[in-house]
């Protein structure tokens, strides 16, 4: 009864437009007061939720992404990748997805990935006759790689909630990231071959093959991006830095890159700093609210009750994952990524132990479902990013994302049956 009441009140408050952070925080505080628990718990939670060295990597990775976005490094990256694969069938699609993957390796944000690569790739692909809905769908989906390929902000938040190793989570994201890149690439090639046409209405073949000199020149120009990715990921994996330190070093290196390229004015640097702050504060407010809510529901024993409910009705891991994925799919229609993570994970966490589910593996499945939420209407964030970057109609973007959502479901199914896609790199390499 309490669970149903809490759910109903929470949904009602959210639907009338109360910000998610204050819905969670306000409900948590009210629940504490109603049950005669000290409201001091709420104030302490507001300090302890943000007083975290691991969470520091969130603003720093966001800053790094925004500096690179405003510094226009996307053009160099796209040109370099295109010089290697652009001539292949569906080459521009392959170049777009690979550019998204490389940018994802230096950015924890799907928005930054979609916006950075979208700015360069959308005009190029449309010029080559690719259907607009396909281009927008490809970029919206490609952008979501930003949160699967490490570094990843949702993985940092997931690691903080579950107290799992952020490094293990990052490493577990690499395999599924590459797997999704392969799926998206294969679909791009298939689409291009099916729609290739010699008249002006269809895709007009691939650009001419670049010469070795052109490849060398474009790769050298984009090399700082590859070096930055090596520093950020190599530093974490090699145990040289913690993820937070890696983000700090990455920020300095990205500032050096844009300074050497002379591609970032002080005004744009200021803009990057302010925009990163805005996103950070929005995320941290939800984290603070969710911490209060999570304290309150724990004191009411709600997660334990839900675990009992789940484990007494569901005893198969597959069924549990299916139910979770369906719930996340529905939530994704109206909740954004971090809120989904902060509302669902504390409630589901006790069930993972009872059902013997690896939290790292579950985290990767969760993040892919969040990726789906980023491109499902009506609130899929990447849809609006691509709409803005591509000056498109939202219906065109929505029409383009469906095949990619199906590919992501396919990836979840494969990772379910072959957990090593995620777990091989962190635990068996």
Partner 1 sequence: MMKCWVDRLSHISALFGAYLFFSIGLIIAYEVSARYVFNMPTIWVEEVSRLLQLWGCYLSMAWVLKKRKIIRITILLERLSGVWAKLAELISITIIALFSLVTIYYASSITYDSLQLNRHTSSMLGSPSWLFDVSIVVGFILLFLQCLVEFVTVIKQQNVEFNREHDI
List 83, 116, 276, 351, residue binding partner 1 (CB under 8 A): 276
Are 115 and 99 spatial neighbours (Cβ–Cβ below 8 Å)? no
Alpha helices in 145-265 (DSSP H): 153-162, 166-195, 212-237, 243-261
Q: Which helix (H) or strand (E) holds 52?
A: none
Using the contact rule CB under 8 A, the part of the chain among 174-182, 246-254, 306-314, 350-358 near partner 1 is 246-254
371 is a site residue for partner 1 (CB under 8 A): no
223 is a site residue for partner 1 (CB under 8 A): no
Alpha helices in 300-419 (DSSP H): 302-313, 317-334, 337-355, 359-375, 381-389, 394-417
Q: Which is nearer to partner 1, 94 or 335 (CB)?
A: 335
Tell me how far apart the alpha carbons of residues 9 and 14 are, in angstroms, rounded to a whole number.
Answer: 9
Q: Which is nearer to partner 1, 106 or 421 (CB)?
A: 106
Backbone angle region of 196, left / alpha / beta, with phi > 0 → left and psi within -120 to 50 → alpha: beta
List 284, 300, 366, 404, residue binding partner 1 (CB under 8 A): 284
List 2, 34, 35, 39, residue binding partner 1 (CB under 8 A): 39
List 1, 4, 17, 417, residue binding partner 1 (CB under 8 A): 17
234 is a site residue for partner 1 (CB under 8 A): no
Tell me how far apart the alpha carbons of residues 104 and 367 are, in angstroms, rounded to a whole number.
Answer: 14
Residues 106-135 contacting partner 1, CB under 8 A: 108-111
410 is a site residue for partner 1 (CB under 8 A): no
Least spacing, CB of residue 341 vs partner 1, in Å: 11
Closest among 90, 101, 187, 200 to 143, alpha carbons compared:
101
| CA-based radius of gyration for the chain | 22
| 38: three-class secondary structure by DSSP | coil
- Burial class (CB within 10 angstroms; exposed 0-12, middle 13-18, buried 19+) of 337: buried
192 is a site residue for partner 1 (CB under 8 A): no
Residues 147-186 contacting partner 1, CB under 8 A: 147, 153-154
Using the contact rule CB under 8 A, the part of the chain among 45-53, 123-131, 200-208, 258-266 near partner 1 is 45-53
Alpha helices in 105-165 (DSSP H): 110-127, 132-144, 153-162
332 is a site residue for partner 1 (CB under 8 A): no
List 9, 14, 329, 407, residue binding partner 1 (CB under 8 A): 14
Least spacing, CB of residue 280 vs partner 1, in Å: 6
Using the contact rule CB under 8 A, the part of the chain among 59-67, 162-170, 315-323, 396-404 near partner 1 is 59-67
Are 108 and 236 spatial neighbours (Cβ–Cβ below 8 Å)? no
Closest among 104, 368, 65, 58 to 244, alpha carbons compared:
58
List 34, 35, 281, 326, residue binding partner 1 (CB under 8 A): 281
Least spacing, CB of residue 37 vs partner 1, in Å: 12
Q: What is the DSSP letter of 203?
A: B
| Number of amino acids touching partner 1 (CB under 8 A) | 70
Which residues of the chain form contacts with partner 1 (CB under 8 A)? Answer: 13-22, 25-26, 29, 39-40, 42-44, 46-47, 50-53, 55-56, 59-60, 62-63, 108-111, 147, 153-154, 240-241, 244-245, 247-249, 251-252, 273-274, 276-286, 334-339, 378-379, 381, 384-385
């Amino acid at each position: 009864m309490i669970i149903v009441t809490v759910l109903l009140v929470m949904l009602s408050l959210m639907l009338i437009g109360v910000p998610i952070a204050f819905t969670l925080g306000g409900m948590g505080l009210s629940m504490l007061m109603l049950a005669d628990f000290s409201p001091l718990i709420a104030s302490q939670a507001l300090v302890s939720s943000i007083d975290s060295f691991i969470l520091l990597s969130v603003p720093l990775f966001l800053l790094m992404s925004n500096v690179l976005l405003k510094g226009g490094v996307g053009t160099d990256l796209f040109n370099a990748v295109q010089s290697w694969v652009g001539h292949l069938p569906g080459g521009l699609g392959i170049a777009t997805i690979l550019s998204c993957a490389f940018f994802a390796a230096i950015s924890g944000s799907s928005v930054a990935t979609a916006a950075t690569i979208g700015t360069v790739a959308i005009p190029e692909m449309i010029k080559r006759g690719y259907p607009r809905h396909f281009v927008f769908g490809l970029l919206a989906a490609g952008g979501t790689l930003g949160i699967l390929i490490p570094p990843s902000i949702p993985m940092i938040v997931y690691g903080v909630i579950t107290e799992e190793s952020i490094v293990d989570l990052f490493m577990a994201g690499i395999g599924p990231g590459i797997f999704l890149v392969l799926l998206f690439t294969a679909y791009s090639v298939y689409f291009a071959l099916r729609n290739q046409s010699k008249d002006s209405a269809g895709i007009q073949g691939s650009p001419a093959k670049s010469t070795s000199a052109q490849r060398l020149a474009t790769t050298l120009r984009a090399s700082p991006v590859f070096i930055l990715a090596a520093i950020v990921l190599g530093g974490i994996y090699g145990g040289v830095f913690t993820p937070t330190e890696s983000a700090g070093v990455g920020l300095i290196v990205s500032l050096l890159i844009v300074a050497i390229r002379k591609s970032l004015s002080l005004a744009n640097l200021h803009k990057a700093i302010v925009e990163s702050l805005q996103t950070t504060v929005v995320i941290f407010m939800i984290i603070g609210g969710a911490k209060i809510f999570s304290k309150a529901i724990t004191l009411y024993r709600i997660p334990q009750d839900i675990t009992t409910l789940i484990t007494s009705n569901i005893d198969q891991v597959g069924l549990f994952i299916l139910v979770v994925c369906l719930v996340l799919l529905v939530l994704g229609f109206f909740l954004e990524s971090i809120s989904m993570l902060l509302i669902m994970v504390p409630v589901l966490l006790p069930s993972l132990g009872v059902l013997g589910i690896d939290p790292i593996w579950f985290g990767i499945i969760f993040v892919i479902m969040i990726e789906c939420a980023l491109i499902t209407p009506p609130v899929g964030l990447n849809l609006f990013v691509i709409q803005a970057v591509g000056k498109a109609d939202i219906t065109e973007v929505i029409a383009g994302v469906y095949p990619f959502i199906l590919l992501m479901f396919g990836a979840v199914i494969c990772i379910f049956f072959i957990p090593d896609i995620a777990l091989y790199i962190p635990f068996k390499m």
